[in-house]
Amino acid sequence: MPLCEVDAEQALAAWSEYLGADVPLLLVRNPDRARKLLMRAFGIADKEPVGIPVNTRRTLSEAVKRSGGTPLFVELDADLNLDPASPGLEAARLVWAEPVAGMAPPFGLPGATLFVDYGFTLPAPLADGSASLTGSATLWGLHLSGDEHGALIAFTDAALYEAARASFTEDDAFSNFAQAVAQCERLSGEDGLAVRLLAVDAASREGMEAGAGLPMAPAASRCALPFGLAVRVPDEADLATFISYVRNENVDLDWLPEIQPMFYVAYQVTTDRERTQRSAAHLARWIVAPLGPDFVDDEVTHAVLGILKAAEYTGVRWYTDPERAQWYGDLMFEWYGPTHDAFRVQFDTRVETRVAAD
């Protein structure tokens, strides 16, 4: 994008218009400085516990320690939400969420302030305004060139915003306003990167729901651009076999523990090893079909098709529509007889049983 001479006020105005949310914003030198600024503004006491996910990235863990806090690793449930029953969480005044692949952040936990860290992706337009910002502060990386990679923070807590402004130091200062606006313009508009990528995401979701019928990470309340479609492999399917089947279809596939694995320190300091191992098992059930803003229809179809075929082979196709799965399974018997090697349902299709289990 062409660069133009702009100042801080113009850069913030551009990002505010793009987000579509009437909330105060700050531009910071980089995501690491933004994390430390937020914890300084919040007022982390010496060695106090700060909740971070068990699959946190090292950058967030180090930011907590360098801000005077002590990392408290918060467990994950099957949907990768923060587990409110995590040991020691009741003592944490501050909890960070670090959603993977642009997934929607969890809602706040009782008694704790929530910060949402999207430092590894870009902001998405907030169609529903500030209601999509579930944390008191949400930060995104701007991924600019040079020393100032840039970070954008949006605040839903006015007092926290004022504290952040008062805590701002020369090390936090951002001056690369021309690139920040160019990045914003690259995302914006009817043909901008954000609109194109979200359209590809919507098309892949539609295809996944219609063809594979597997649980997907919800798009609602998502406020960052996804770099893939996150899908949960049902418990009834052997995980390694499922992933192998997808990749054998010559389809690119990311496995969440490859993108953002369990942080090794969580295993060392856990007081509930069984719960931590469950978190790892929950994380391992999620796969991501990579998506790009310039995918054509064939590429969207291909991204869905590999997962669809694996769901067919392992008998978990239409997992979210048990009546349809049972109908299809019966049809295979009708067409091919009892010894067929086509789709066989591998999960309970009795709706009342599944609802009770949920």
Q: Is the pLDDT of residue 344 over 90?
A: yes
Q: Is the pLDDT of residue 131 over 80?
A: no
Q: Is the pLDDT of residue 134 over 90?
A: no
Q: Is the pLDDT of residue 189 over 60?
A: yes
Q: Is the pLDDT of residue 357 over 60?
A: no
Span 121-128, average pLDDT: 84
Share the mean pLDDT of the chain: 92
- Give every strand in the sheet of 228-232, ordered side by side: 228-232, 286-290, 254-255
End-to-end CA distance of the chain, in Å? 49
In order of start, what are the domains of the chain with their CATH numbers?
8-187 (3.40.640.10), 193-357 (3.90.1150.10)
Banded model confidence at residue 110, pLDDT cuts 50, 70, 90: confident
Q: Is the pLDDT of residue 128 over 70?
A: no
Q: Is the pLDDT of residue 4 over 90?
A: no
Span 241-250, average pLDDT: 95
Span 272-280, average pLDDT: 95
Q: Is the pLDDT of residue 76 over 80?
A: yes
Banded model confidence at residue 351, pLDDT cuts 50, 70, 90: low
Contacts for 272-276: CB closer than 8 Å, 24+ residues apart:
272/75, 272/87, 275/75, 275/83, 275/85, 275/86, 275/87, 276/54, 276/73, 276/75
Banded model confidence at residue 352, pLDDT cuts 50, 70, 90: low
In this predicted structure, what is the pLDDT of residue 321? 94
